[in-house]
Structure 1
Amino acid sequence: MQIDLGEDPLALDRQVCFALSVASRSVIGLYRPLLKPHGLTHPQYLVLLALWEHTPRSMKSLSELLRAEPATLSPLLKRLEALGYVTRDRDPTDERSLAVDLTDAGKALRAEAEKIPYQVVERLGMEVSELEELHGMLGKVIAATRRTNPEGA
């Protein structure tokens, strides 16, 4: 099968990496003013989303779920702990493992955070079905990159 990338395969506006990069920065930019009143960055918000689904979680579990290196997560967790949203403690059954749990304030923040997805959809001005389709396509891209580059995903 011959792949046809058109007349100029290096045209910037045809690059998937460029579109993903700009879209990612743009969407994350929509979150900034919504997270700022809570003292959160977008990566910290992702950690809280993971913890609101299931808590406590080990550092290893968070790292795998968020596809982030523990060295990247560590400062995020320290900041979330300083904000009073999480605790980090050694797992009593495995001293090598760090358990991350929500505080009462972290649990209470969930009620406020539930408004954020609605505000983002509203600001994007797109139909939920379009965003669900996009999410599905991005899931396929993520899966494809993990298959072809397991260490980089």
Structure 2
Amino acid sequence: MQHDDAHGSAPTRDGGTHAWPDAVDPTSDDPAEWPTGRLLFTVVRRIEHDWNAHLAGWNLNHAGFPVLLHLFAGPRTQRELAALNGVTEQTMSRIVARLERAGYVTRGDDPRDRRRRAVAVTDTGRRAAAEAGRLQPAEDLTARGLGDDDVARLREILVTLVRTQRGADQD
């Protein structure tokens, strides 16, 4: 969305308008004056930092953890994992190599096509992901400072954003 300085609003997807705060100043030290994108980026970076610190207890990080979760459904190729995680195959190769060194995954013949290789989660990897991903610590890291109603509303907004982004990616 582009900011319309003359009217203090911006068009929305549904044809309405979104009112901007009276003073949007991306250089300000006051978060109340930042554009939404800067607010989101700042929060995401803090959460990523805290989440990586949490996952480090299992020799995991924000890149490897979701790979393990995707493997709970069964073995997948690195190409499939790259697509599911929105990264390049080269990046996925590094992620899988790190998980393999930790003993969390193995690479072997793809049971669906013997000409291809597949990545599978080990029992150790399954336990590590289950422990690291327990709901309450994850929620505590992401919802610090919010009440239950705020968290519920934030989840609604985030689900909408994720679904909208997925739809845009498929267009």
TM over 0.5: yes
Q: Which residue of 2 aligns with 1:47?
A: 67
How much has 1:132 moved relative to structure 2? Answer: 4.2
How much has 1:94 moved relative to structure 2? Answer: 2.5
Task: Supply the AA of the counterpart residue of 1:51.
Answer: L
SS of aligned partner of 2:106: strand
How much has 1:75 moved relative to structure 2? Answer: 0.3
Structure 1 unpaired stretches of 5+: none
Contact kept? 1:84, 1:105, Cα under 8 Å? yes
Between the two structures, name the one with larger relative contact order (CA 8 Å, sep ≥ 6).
Answer: 1
How much has 1:67 moved relative to structure 2? Answer: 2.2
The CA RMSD measured in Å over matched residues stands at 2.9
Structure 2 unpaired stretches of 5+: 1-14, 27-32
- Name the larger-Rg structure: 2
TM-score where L is the length of structure 2? 0.69
Whole-Å Cα distance in 1 between the matches of residues 108 and 149 of structure 2? 41
Equivalent pairs, count: 149
TM-score where L is the length of structure 1? 0.75
Contact kept? 1:86, 1:100, Cα under 8 Å? yes
SS of aligned partner of 2:63: helix
Task: Supply the AA of the counterpart residue of 1:27.
Answer: I
Q: Identical aligned pairs, as a percentage?
A: 27
Q: Which residue of 2 aligns with 1:28?
A: 48
Q: Which residue of 2 aligns with 1:143?
A: 163
Task: Supply the AA of the counterpart residue of 2:126.
Answer: K
